[in-house]
Amino acid sequence: MSESIDERVSRLHRQGVIDMHFDLPMDLYDKRERQNVLATDFVEDLRAGDIGVAGVALYLEDRYLPEMGLRRALDQIARLYLEVDAAPDFAICRSYREILEARQKNKIAFLLTMEGVEPLGNDLDLLRVFYELGLRSLCLTHVRRNAAGDGGLFAASGSPRDGLTPFGRDVIRECERLGIIIDLAHISPAGFDHIIEMTTRPVIISHTNARKYFDIERNVTVEQIRQIGERGGVIGVNAVLVSPKKEEATLDRYVDHIEHVRDLIGIDGVAIGFDFFEFIFRQWSVEEQVAFQNKFTHAHFVPELGKHSHSRNLTRRLIERGFTDDEIEKILFRNWMRVFEQWL
Ligand SMILES: [Zn+2]
């Protein structure tokens, strides 16, 4: 009897799906009055989507900056450790070997990442402290300017053209030295060029989309995608900036982004960085939602790809669109694992 499509999805998910961008720590911090939040709010959905590894990002909302940035980042890490201690389903991993060990025990491996170096202020020594706390991947900026550089705007042009500051360059050099994966998500086009110029290792973009389908400087051009490919890096496709048009924010358009990257740099260069954010957005008041949309953009969440349990929808659609088993395994798992093995 031939394998059903659901059986094929399960087989392709056996090694675990890797999502390199998840805003978990800030949500754990916001729910700090509760205990066992991972167990009650997250484990079922993550397991339903066969998630094996997740990059969990430290991110600071504007209201904490600048004075409370370091403190809130440390609080987020504290919540993450407390929650993982209480939940046998999870492990915080610091190396490729620890990821393999966690997966052998069927634990979901968390890799601590940082989205914007605001917690460091302009103190390079703190990068070492965060490394000791488990930080293993870092992007220099979110949208706003910080001591390292500027983010790319949610607009087709107009991002600052200064590139990296001297501090930003120091952070990049120190990441290469320590073994913290350099992530070019969010960085301005000029900053992107600087990082490419000054590094040699396979840099990544944990969560982004192609400007072909959503033309803002927060996303990436054909040339930028090629530069990541030439470096042997990997691009995680983001599920929240799939299209500026609500009617085109679909699962098929998400797969179009994957195909676009694959066609430019090959299947070894494309993976997943879902950035599932709808659950946080829905927890906000209407005023907060409007403020977010005015500041960034109207994020059109993809109905069939809005949470981790939906990753099975993605795999099913990749099969329907003609991707081979080998290609799907690379997208879901093997490409990120290759990066982890190279860096960690
Ligand atoms: Zn982001």
| Angstrom distance (rounded) from CA 122 to CA 204 | 23
DSSP string, 26-83: HHHHHTTTSS-HIIIIIHHHHHHTTEEEEEEEE---GGGTTTTHHHHHHHHHHHHHHH
Distance 176 CA to ligand 1 centre (A): 21
DSSP 302: B
Distance 216 CA to ligand 1 centre (A): 14
**Which of 43, 21, 2, 8 lies closest to 315, judged by CA?**
8
Distance 47 CA to ligand 1 centre (A): 23
Distance 1 CA to ligand 1 centre (A): 44
Tally the residues of the chain: 344
Distance 181 CA to ligand 1 centre (A): 16
Distance 279 CA to ligand 1 centre (A): 15
Distance 179 CA to ligand 1 centre (A): 21
CB atoms within 10 A of CB 106: 11
Distance 44 CA to ligand 1 centre (A): 24
Distance 11 CA to ligand 1 centre (A): 30
* Predicted local confidence at residue 320, as pLDDT: 97
| First-residue to last-residue Cα distance in the chain | 42
Distance 6 CA to ligand 1 centre (A): 31
Cis peptide bond prior to 25, omega within 30° of 0: no
| Angstrom distance (rounded) from CA 171 to CA 131 | 12
Distance 135 CA to ligand 1 centre (A): 17
134-to-98, 112, 308 alpha-carbon distances in Å: 12, 6, 23
Q: Which residue in this structure is represented by tokens 């033309």?
A: 215
b/e sequence 28-43, b meaning 16+ C-beta within 10 Å: bbeeeeeeebbeebbb
Which SS3 state, helix, strand or coil, does residue 1 take? coil
Distance 313 CA to ligand 1 centre (A): 23
DSSP 205: E
* Predicted local confidence at residue 298, as pLDDT: 82
Distance 342 CA to ligand 1 centre (A): 23
Distance 13 CA to ligand 1 centre (A): 25
Distance 254 CA to ligand 1 centre (A): 17
Distance 7 CA to ligand 1 centre (A): 33
Phi, psi angle pair for 292, to nearest 5°: -60, -45
Distance 64 CA to ligand 1 centre (A): 17
* Predicted local confidence at residue 324, as pLDDT: 98
Distance 139 CA to ligand 1 centre (A): 9
| Angstrom distance (rounded) from CA 138 to CA 115 | 6
Q: What letter represents residue 199's amino acid?
A: T
Distance 5 CA to ligand 1 centre (A): 32
Question: Please, where are the H alpha helices in the chain?
Answer: 5-12, 24-30, 37, 43-48, 69-85, 96-104, 125-132, 166-178, 189-198, 222-230, 251-265, 278-283, 286-295, 311-320, 325-329, 335-343
* Predicted local confidence at residue 268, as pLDDT: 98
Distance 21 CA to ligand 1 centre (A): 8
pLDDT in tens, the chain (344 residues): 689 999 999 999 999 999 999 999 999 999 999 999 999 999 999 999 999 999 999 999 999 999 999 999 999 999 999 999 999 999 999 999 999 999 999 999 999 999 999 999 999 999 999 999 999 999 999 999 999 999 999 999 999 999 999 999 999 999 999 999 999 999 999 999 999 999 999 999 999 999 999 999 999 999 999 999 999 999 999 999 999 999 999 999 999 999 999 999 999 999 999 999 999 999 999 999 999 888 888 889 999 999 999 999 999 999 999 999 999 999 999 999 999 999 99
